[in-house]
Chain A
């Protein structure tokens, strides 16, 4: 083999490093591009095609199919798929036609479900039949009835119900006049409410589906009604805008295939912030001890090596530790000490937000310790000497001069910790993150922040979605949208931490 001279070696090595950097960059960009492409399909309105095929009994059947691609691409893809399916059988491909029906309507329901169909009529309680032009009036009057109904329920029915329950509890006889009066009232309002409900239920939209069958939809269930095949670009953009707002502000619907991810977003951010608040002081204190107080001997070196190795422990091991130690042992003790009234049902003795934050803090502790020590190492010796020479004690020196100069190092550690914690799934599933939590960990009820509650987390949400929605396009596009959001969250949290770090650097580190 020919030997390379020094010049050539340098060229080759610089070319190789340039190439690997380029490959890395391309990999990163294509990952982001892929996720953004797949995820944004969740927000952009799909077109709707009418697909007509033969069923097994050779009858023509039609269905409306939403799709994010145009008609030719859609037809080609569908033909391919059917070709594959029918390749072995002698039957001809049953596809008859794919067409784009302009007048088609898409109905997004409050429940998150979606229907497609051609408009037929609006039914009302007094058997009058309305056209689509009057839909707004109809929706308005339904809204009025609903408000009335709600008012009856909150101001009369629940109040009366409570009163009667109280009378029952205090053992008032069945025939006591006070009780009878309340009952009479209750029945009166109950009847009124029933009548209203009936009236509301009589407002219905009738659509005709692809195979000519009527679809019957309650007006009160409708969230949004529009014609996807006739939208202008502006309509599409504003539709997407609304979808994005819905995505980050609402709860998941339809078994996490539509709606929003607000609880998961909220849970992720809250857990990460809580973790940062826990890990920053502990990590900084541990690093200060190691660097400023611990003697320079074998034991300290061994501790340092252990800390570095802790960073390499698989995260699921932390999860198991968190479950076994934090949740069962610590949480169990807290329960038996402070919440013994509500035992055997656990309060802190079951997975929850606080344990998750604590577990993640433990998981990211090595990162914070290592980068804080790095920061401490960079503090010039002269600064310490200057402080001592002015009569400062060791504590005062560390607190007033060393820590500020090392603070960018601490922030670097926190940045790395945040990125790691926001993306973890395995340990979180064990210590408190769930795919659906009935309530947020923060609400108006004392003590406002409920550390013992289970919470939703974007990573867990995506993990769960990836498992269950492989075949469902709508669901998988929501999963990709969640990925996009998770990336964005990590990016924003990092950006925030980097800004803070740079501020600190400007302030405390020699320019």
Chain B
């Protein structure tokens, strides 16, 4: 299978704590009293791209949003187990959830820019943190937009409404908005499913750039995309973790029958 970007691969079962960005231990989730995730155990390596694949409804989004506790916004939510980031269980009762989310950014399937100017969208998180110094904001806005490959398209109209941008531009703006907070981990939930192929390629390149400084976890429906961009892939099925390995192995010689069925398109 074609691979655009080559990186050294670590053996997942031998990851040290330093090499681990997120450690998931026996993590289960119930939504509306039904089990959605069943005892997930995995370590997500630092500064790598990890893809989550699986049929829709298998719990990818649920697992992803367990990493920044966005799950809790659901009304009937229950969980057990642990999710550790920097060796700290983020579900401990003293956790500052708002602060956690500034370090673990998230981008959603559908672009959701705020009804403000492009500039204010990018500043949103910084302003929440009480940062108002103009020079600093200007700098961060520019770097974030550059990193999200949007700067050239919007530099002349930073103060126009973000709602006027096209879908692909909006999605990159939303990524820039998350990058402005310099997160250590970036969670992407099907970030390109609503975009055209060219914009998708744009964003894939961008994800690869981010890897230098950021751990990226990406949910995708698109097998080619997972194979193209990710270093590691995890296959979920009905709330169970079926297979987790480096993407090369997973896509070329899957260990499990279910995985093979899925990636060869026998279902899903």
Q: Which residues of A contact B (CB under 8 A)?
A: 296, 380, 382-393, 396, 400-401, 404-405, 507-511
- Report A-chain residues with C-beta under 8 Å of the C-beta of B98: 391-393
Q: Does B129 contact A (CB under 8 A)?
A: yes
Known A-B contacts A385-B73, A386-B174, A511-B163; the reply to A392 vs B112 at CB < 8 A is no
Report B105-117 CB contacts with A as 1/0, cut-off 8 Å.
1101010111100
Q: How far, in Å, is B174 (CB) from chain A's closest CB?
A: 7
Q: Does B124 contact A (CB under 8 A)?
A: yes
Residue in A391, A405, A510 whose CB lies within 8 Å of B101 = A391
Q: In the complex the two chains form, what is the Cα distance from A393 to B73 in whole Å?
A: 12
Q: In the complex the two chains form, what is the Cα distance from A389 to B68 in whole Å?
A: 8
Do the beta carbons of B114 and A510 come within 8 Å of each other? no
* Smallest Cβ-Cβ distance to A382: which chain B residue: B112
* Smallest Cβ-Cβ distance to B103: which chain A residue: A391
Do the beta carbons of A509 and B178 come within 8 Å of each other? no
- Report B-chain residues with C-beta under 8 Å of the C-beta of A392: 98, 124-125, 128
Do the beta carbons of A404 and B115 come within 8 Å of each other? yes
Do the beta carbons of A390 and B115 come within 8 Å of each other? no
Q: In the complex the two chains form, what is the Cα distance from A296 to B73 in whole Å?
A: 14
* Smallest Cβ-Cβ distance to A509: which chain B residue: B115
Q: In the complex the two chains form, what is the Cα distance from A309 to B119 in whole Å?
A: 45
* Smallest Cβ-Cβ distance to B187: which chain A residue: A389
Do the beta carbons of A390 and B75 come within 8 Å of each other? no
Q: 18 A-B contacts, Cβ less than 8 Å apart?
A: A296-B75, A385-B73, A386-B108, A386-B113, A386-B177, A388-B101, A389-B70, A389-B106, A390-B181, A391-B125, A392-B125, A392-B128, A400-B114, A400-B128, A401-B114, A401-B115, A404-B115, A511-B163
Residue in A391, A400, A511 whose CB lies within 8 Å of B181 = A391
* Smallest Cβ-Cβ distance to A390: which chain B residue: B125
Do the beta carbons of A388 and B181 come within 8 Å of each other? no
Known A-B contacts A382-B108, A511-B163; the reply to A388 vs B70 at CB < 8 A is yes
* Smallest Cβ-Cβ distance to B124: which chain A residue: A390
Do the beta carbons of B178 and A389 come within 8 Å of each other? yes
Q: How far, in Å, is A394 (CB) from chain B's closest CB?
A: 10
- Report B-chain residues with C-beta under 8 Å of the C-beta of A387: 114, 124
- Report B-chain residues with C-beta under 8 Å of the C-beta of A388: 70, 73, 101
Residue in B99, B105, B115, B129 whose CB lies within 8 Å of A389 = B105
Other A-B pairs beyond A386-B114, A386-B177, A400-B114, 6, CB < 8 Å: A382-B112, A383-B115, A386-B113, A400-B124, A405-B115, A508-B115
Q: How far, in Å, is B67 (CB) from chain A's closest CB?
A: 11
Do the beta carbons of B125 and A385 come within 8 Å of each other? no
| Most chain A Cβ neighbours within 10 Å, of B106, B108, B113, B115 | B115
* Smallest Cβ-Cβ distance to B113: which chain A residue: A386
Q: Does B233 contact A (CB under 8 A)?
A: no
- Report B-chain residues with C-beta under 8 Å of the C-beta of A389: 68, 70, 101, 105-106, 108, 178
* Smallest Cβ-Cβ distance to B105: which chain A residue: A389
Residue in B110, B128, B164 whose CB lies within 8 Å of A390 = B128
> 4 tightest A-B contacts by CB?
A382-B112, A391-B102, A390-B125, A508-B115
- Report B-chain residues with C-beta under 8 Å of the C-beta of A509: 115
Do the beta carbons of A396 and B114 come within 8 Å of each other? no
Q: How far, in Å, is B195 (CB) from chain A's closest CB?
A: 16
Q: Does B161 contact A (CB under 8 A)?
A: yes
* Smallest Cβ-Cβ distance to A507: which chain B residue: B115
| Most chain A Cβ neighbours within 10 Å, of B105, B106, B112 | B112
Known A-B contacts A390-B125, A391-B101, A391-B128; the reply to A382 vs B114 at CB < 8 A is no
* Smallest Cβ-Cβ distance to B115: which chain A residue: A508
Q: How far, in Å, is B34 (CB) from chain A's closest CB?
A: 18
- Report B-chain residues with C-beta under 8 Å of the C-beta of A382: 108, 110, 112
Residue in B68, B112, B128 whose CB lies within 8 Å of A383 = B112
- Report B-chain residues with C-beta under 8 Å of the C-beta of A391: 98-99, 101-102, 125, 128-129, 181
